[in-house]
Structure 1
């Protein structure tokens, strides 16, 4: 039996409503897709040439200036094979070659069409600072070799430079506060707001050859050599920052061993920070090759040193305290150690401590842990009340909390002087499409219901 004319009319109306609804939905979804397409994405590459190793970081951000705040993200982190570039002083060409593997990873990640527009920098820290002090000619050769390799890449190489200790600390402070959204953030009411000054966090960095502390003190900074000033998003920030060369983990261990060698007769050293039962040999020449080891060297550096562990925590702490000059700050409340001015620590701190993670460093874990404890409590002046404000983090929000992001932001002027204009949500088109679809669906249902009632009559 065929359909009546009323049933055919109902089917036609229902089909027309469905086609109309789907067509409109598709058109709105196409428009929404266009709205959601990201603006031109840009990339930046930074090499962190540290004392113990070199790391590469790739950052990406939207080119739209209104989106500069809070949209920079870490796209790649790569650790180059081998030691830091300062270790290649006798063979500079290898310093450049050691960066090739990570550079190739970065180039594979970044679209080829973006290569020429991608800035790339290399910043060298305490390892190269020490090499520059020891042999400036060798340091220049290493920088030349690194620059030669990186300048041959298809990206826009902006150069390799020696980063001052104060800059390393201050840029690390910018990184962590930027990543945590503490410099400026976008509110639900559609306005840019600046968090209260007291919410800014301090930055502590424990590297291989140096350590840095940076924070906003509770009062004026009385020594302008320890002050760094930034104008970010229309607000001026003044921070205390200081870098201690030769107080990083690796150089601390060298200085500790050098002092034990000096106080031991012959070439047998009993090390209180090594576990009982440990016995090993090492060459003397590399130990005394560091400018940080001030102890008098034995006459014959070609000999090997035998080290035995005694596992004595009390003696270990005493030996570590001997690396600091705490007595130079007696009676001064604004002094850390070695006569260095420092106001009292204030607020929450994020610590980035490098960790080699290799079995050969297991012997040094006890010494490293007690050293960090001594530095934080007796050196920087943290107490039982302020200790809880320290967080040990390697990353925040998926981004490494070192100096590299702050360095890139600074050199590429990604941080504008004033807060950008309010940003309109790009998801607007999706909401509109959803609302229209619901309205059309409701209209189709109501229409179908009306027709069914009509058919019953």
Structure 2
């Protein structure tokens, strides 16, 4: 009897030891070991620019929503036709123009998720100009756009006109988010870390009606009217951002044509130094009345309905000189913290991403591969000297000489980049798989996907509830066996 009791006790003790070892192992299981499948979420943003509208559909894992919101671009769709501001005289067409891209979006977003998709429309400089010229027409265009978007099964959040500074700031957020300048995951540390501050990029955006510059100055005294403040991932950022309305490339071309006509001795035929030799374009003076940028009264020019023919001369130096006259550089005097028109700007600092029309113009000229400023100037000069028969294309080619010289003037004379800092400008339209622009930053901000607080533990994993439960059961069994052993001895 005693021997049996001894063997039974030994068995109980062995079981207790085994159960204790199992419980110890389970208690050491990392919380990442048990993973829940993530739920994919979607968001969409219309970029309603001055010359065209584009739709972007983004997706991300819901388990990252309040940490880094690792977002990828699912769809990019260009809306047919001009920007929505061009429908001021027929607002319903503004809404109808969006349908084709909305239909495409509905095909990439699963039906069961569509009603939860936050959808936004942000209008930029084209609508800012229309609001200046005819606020009721701008309101009607936005109302028709809203009406159309509300017909689709999605969580429509509104259509609004962004300020120029918002456009610039959201572009800055997009760039630094995509390039992981704010925070990035370190597999070695199993944590989100903040890269060096030197990795923060500036943003250069050139549209049809406005242009924006945004960057983080170096400990300079800021003009707070030109500053945007952000707290992202627990760190504060004060960025300088300024938007120049009427300095987008399309409005610049209109202003240039008007200035050339004003200064010409002929009332019907005017030399255009930026257009290719043998290229002619006939415009009506009444076209200047369609934009606030060229509709200002000018005693040198009576705006009638007469036609004027612009005759190309292919003169690169003459083109550059004519473009510089569009800027009031003398208003800054000798101040280095000033661009033009007495606008304050601290010295440019760090690396910049130049996108939108900056990129598209230089891409056409094959100047997006880090060429030196001397090479850029030489390439532009050679292109401007070509005759029309050598560059024929009815769409954009007549404009590239003017656009390229305008970019040089804006970057060098206005923003004050130089031979050295020029090498810090990167012309690109994508970062990873996503387009660079303001739309992603806009959505990230409105969906609160970039928190003010530092990222917590990486989500996507849950605590090992099963391990904890099993450990609890084993410990309970161990205690039960110990109690049984105690009773047997009594």
Specify if TM > 0.5. yes
**Counterpart of 1:422?**
457
Q: What is the Cα deviation at residue 267 of structure 1?
A: 2.0
- 1:56 aligned onto 2:48: no
**Counterpart of 2:320?**
317
Post-superposition CA distance 1:152-211 (Å, at most 9, x none) = 111011110010000000110000000001100111221211112121000000010000
In 2, are the aligned partners of 1:61 and 1:68 still within 8 Å (CA)? no
Post-superposition CA distance 1:3-46 (Å, at most 9, x none) = xxxxxxxxxxxxxxxxxxxxxxxxxxxxxxx9777411100010
- 1:248 aligned onto 2:248: yes
Q: Which of 331, 352, 359 pairs up with 1:349?
A: 352
**Counterpart of 2:179?**
180
DSSP-derived class of the 2:240 partner: strand
Write the distance in 1 (CA, Å) between the matches of 2:303 and 2:425: 45
Q: What is the Cα deviation at residue 299 of structure 1?
A: 4.6
In 2, are the aligned partners of 1:51 and 1:209 still within 8 Å (CA)? yes
In 2, are the aligned partners of 1:129 and 1:162 still within 8 Å (CA)? yes
Write the distance in 1 (CA, Å) between the matches of 2:221 and 2:85: 34
Write the distance in 2 (CA, Å) between the matches of 1:197 and 1:45: 30
Write the distance in 2 (CA, Å) between the matches of 1:308 and 1:171: 40
DSSP-derived class of the 2:396 partner: helix
Write the distance in 1 (CA, Å) between the matches of 2:437 and 2:37: 28
Write the distance in 1 (CA, Å) between the matches of 2:126 and 2:258: 18
Post-superposition CA distance 1:31-76 (Å, at most 9, x none) = xxx9777411100010000000000000101111477416111111
Q: What is the Cα deviation at residue 288 of structure 1?
A: 2.9
Q: What is the Cα deviation at residue 302 of structure 1?
A: 2.9
**Counterpart of 2:414?**
379
- 1:257 aligned onto 2:250: no
**Counterpart of 2:395?**
360
Give the TM-score taking structure 1 as reference length: 0.83
Q: Which of 405, 417, 424 pairs up with 1:370?
A: 405
Write the distance in 2 (CA, Å) between the matches of 1:36 and 1:112: 26
Write the distance in 2 (CA, Å) between the matches of 1:267 and 1:343: 44
Aligned pairs, how many? 394
**Counterpart of 1:117?**
116
In 2, are the aligned partners of 1:66 and 1:420 still within 8 Å (CA)? no
Q: What is the Cα deviation at residue 360 of structure 1?
A: 1.7
**Counterpart of 1:292?**
293
Write the distance in 2 (CA, Å) between the matches of 1:55 and 1:401: 13
DSSP-derived class of the 2:174 partner: helix
Write the distance in 2 (CA, Å) between the matches of 1:408 and 1:62: 15
**Counterpart of 2:73?**
74
**Counterpart of 1:92?**
91
Write the distance in 1 (CA, Å) between the matches of 2:302 and 2:343: 34
Post-superposition CA distance 1:380-435 (Å, at most 9, x none) = 00011100000011111111110000000111111122233333787xxxxxxxxx
Write the distance in 2 (CA, Å) between the matches of 1:267 and 1:133: 31
In 2, are the aligned partners of 1:262 and 1:295 still within 8 Å (CA)? no
**Counterpart of 1:197?**
197
Write the distance in 2 (CA, Å) between the matches of 1:112 and 1:263: 60
**Counterpart of 2:153?**
154
Post-superposition CA distance 1:255-314 (Å, at most 9, x none) = 000101111231211101011111222233223311111463855633322111011111
Write the distance in 2 (CA, Å) between the matches of 1:65 and 1:76: 20
In 1, are the aligned partners of 2:172 and 2:215 still within 8 Å (CA)? yes
Write the distance in 1 (CA, Å) between the matches of 2:160 and 2:227: 22
**Counterpart of 2:384?**
none
Q: What is the Cα deviation at residue 236 of structure 1?
A: 0.7
DSSP-derived class of the 1:56 partner: strand
In 1, are the aligned partners of 2:67 and 2:458 still within 8 Å (CA)? no
In 2, are the aligned partners of 1:284 and 1:301 still within 8 Å (CA)? yes
Change (3 A) 1:360 1:40: same
In 2, are the aligned partners of 1:124 and 1:162 still within 8 Å (CA)? yes
DSSP-derived class of the 2:442 partner: helix
Give the TM-score taking structure 2 as reference length: 0.77
**Counterpart of 1:308?**
311
Q: What is the Cα deviation at residue 315 of structure 1?
A: 1.2
Superposed CA RMSD: 2.0
In 2, are the aligned partners of 1:205 and 1:352 still within 8 Å (CA)? yes
In 2, are the aligned partners of 1:169 and 1:214 still within 8 Å (CA)? yes
**Counterpart of 1:267?**
268
In 2, are the aligned partners of 1:221 and 1:227 still within 8 Å (CA)? no
Write the distance in 2 (CA, Å) between the matches of 1:252 and 1:133: 18
**Counterpart of 2:238?**
238
Write the distance in 2 (CA, Å) between the matches of 1:424 and 1:41: 14
- Structure 2, unpaired ranges of 5+: 1-32, 365-392, 462-490
